[in-house]
Amino acid sequence: MKDLPQTVFVVDDDDAVRDSLRMLLKSAGVHAEACASAQDFFSIYDASQPGCLVLDVRMPGMSGLEMQHELNLRGLTMPVIFITGHGDIPMAVEAMQHGAFDFLQKPFRDQELLDRVQRALVRDMENRARLRHTDRIRERLASLSPREREVLDLVTQGKANKMVAGDLGVSQRTVEIHRAHVMQKMEAGSLAELVRMMMAVAPPP
Amino acid sequence: MVGTNDNGSGLNGDRGPARVRTIIVAGQSSERTREVLRALSGFTNVIWPTSLESVLAQTSSKDAGCLVIADDLREEPIDEFLQEARELQRSLPIFVITDPDDVAEAVSAMRHGATAVIEIPPSYAALCEEVSRAMQ
C-alpha cells in the first residue's frame, strides 16, 4: 500500500486567511488542503490520511472547539493547532485540556506557524507509528487461544509457572507449553518484552 | 514558611474526618491572590514554602493535595519547574495563576503539565471550586 503524503488541513471560514496559509505552507514544501468549514473538512477527510489541522476557533456553524470535540468523539488523533484573533485564557485552557497540540494568537509570524506545523507533523507520525505498533500487538493477542490468554495474563502479573499451574488447575508442564506458544505467537523475546506489550495496549488509568 | 494552617478539617465537607490535604503555593503571589489563598486556609492546609526546592519536596509528600503556582513566578522559567513537579507527582493537580493577557504563557503552562490556568485576580469562588474538585 502506498503511503499517503502528510497533509496540513487548514479550516477557516475567512477566504483570505485560508488562501494565505495554503500559500505559506506550499512555499515551505508542505502539502495543504483548505476547507471553509468543519463540515467541509469532515466530508473530505479520510482517517488514514496523515497530517495535522490548522483550525480557526471562531467559525460560523461548528466552531473550532466544537470541531475538536467531534474529532475526539470520532477517535481522530490528528494534532490540532488552533489559530485565533480573539483568544483568551479560558478558551486556550479548554482547547489544551481537550488535547490541542498548540494554540496560536493572530497575528503570528509565518515562521512561528511553520515551526509548529512541522512539530505537529512529527507528532502525528509518532502517534501513527504507536498505533500501528499497538494494532500489531492486538492482532497477535487475537491469535491466542483462551487458555494461552489466561497464561499470558497470569505470567505478566509476575506469577511463576508453578503458581499459574495452581491457579488454572493444570500441570506445570502444560503451563510451560502454553507459555512457549504465547512467546512465539506474541513474537516476544523475553517476559519483560511481553509485559511492555501488555502495557502498551492496556487502557489508560 | 508563611500562612500555614493546620486545623485538620480537610476539604471534605460533611463526610467526616479526612486526611488533611495540603495546598502548596509556589511564589509569594500578589496581594489579591494571597487573600484568596489565605481564605482557603479556613478549609485546609495552605503552605508557602520559601524556595522552589522546598516546593518540589512538598509536592512529593503524600499529603500534597494540589500545587498553585502564583503569579509572581511569571518571570521565572516556570515551564521547567512545572515539568519537574509533574514528573514527581503524575496525578497532582497543578494550577498556574497568570496575567489574563498572557495566552501564550497559559498554553505553554498547559503543555508542560498544568491542570488549569487561572487568571489574575482569581475569584475566591472560582479558585475554591477548582481546588475542591481537584482535591476530591
Are residues A89 and B98, on separate chains, in Cβ contact within 8 Å? yes
Q: Which amino acid is at A95?
A: A
Going from the C-alpha of B94 to that of each of A73, A182, B43, B50, the distances in angstroms are 26, 42, 18, 18
Orientation angle between helical segments B78-88 and B103-111, nearest 10 degrees: 30
Tell me: ipTM over 0.85: no
pTM of the model: 0.78
B51 Rama sector, left if φ>0, alpha if ψ -120 to 50, beta otherwise: beta
Residue of B nearest to A103 (CA): B107
In angstroms, the separation between the Cα of residue A91 and the nearest Cα of chain B is 9
| B50-60 residue pLDDT tens | 888 888 888 88
Using beta carbons and an 8 Å cutoff, which residues of A are at the interface with B? 87-90, 92-93, 96-97, 102-103, 105
Whether A188 shows a pLDDT value over 80: the answer reads: yes
Are residues A92 and B117, on separate chains, in Cβ contact within 8 Å? yes
Listed residue (B19, B22, B9) closest to B55, CA to CA: B22
CB pairs under 8 A between A and B: 31
Lowest mean pLDDT among B20-24, B61-65, B75-79, B85-89: B75-79
pLDDT value for B76: 61
Query: What count of other Cβ atoms lies within 10 Å of the Cβ of residue A112?
Result: 12
B98 or A176, greater pLDDT: A176
Contacts of A105 in chain B (CB under 8 A): 103-104
Q: Give the mutation candidate from B94, B110, B119, B120 for the A interface (greatest A CB count, under 10 A).
A: B110
Whether B127 shows a pLDDT value over 90: the answer reads: no
Residue of A nearest to B103 (CA): A89
A174 or B5, greater pLDDT: A174
Contacts of A103 in chain B (CB under 8 A): 103, 107
| A24-75 residue pLDDT tens | 999 999 999 999 999 999 999 998 999 999 999 999 999 999 999 999 999 9
Are residues A92 and B102, on separate chains, in Cβ contact within 8 Å? no
Residue of B nearest to A89 (CA): B103
Whether B45 shows a pLDDT value over 50: the answer reads: yes
**What is the DSSP secondary-structure string of A145-205?**
-HHHHHHHHHHTTT--HHHHHHHHTS-HHHHHHHHHHHHHHHT-SSHHHHHHHHHHHSPP-
| B1-20 residue pLDDT tens | 333 333 333 444 444 445 56
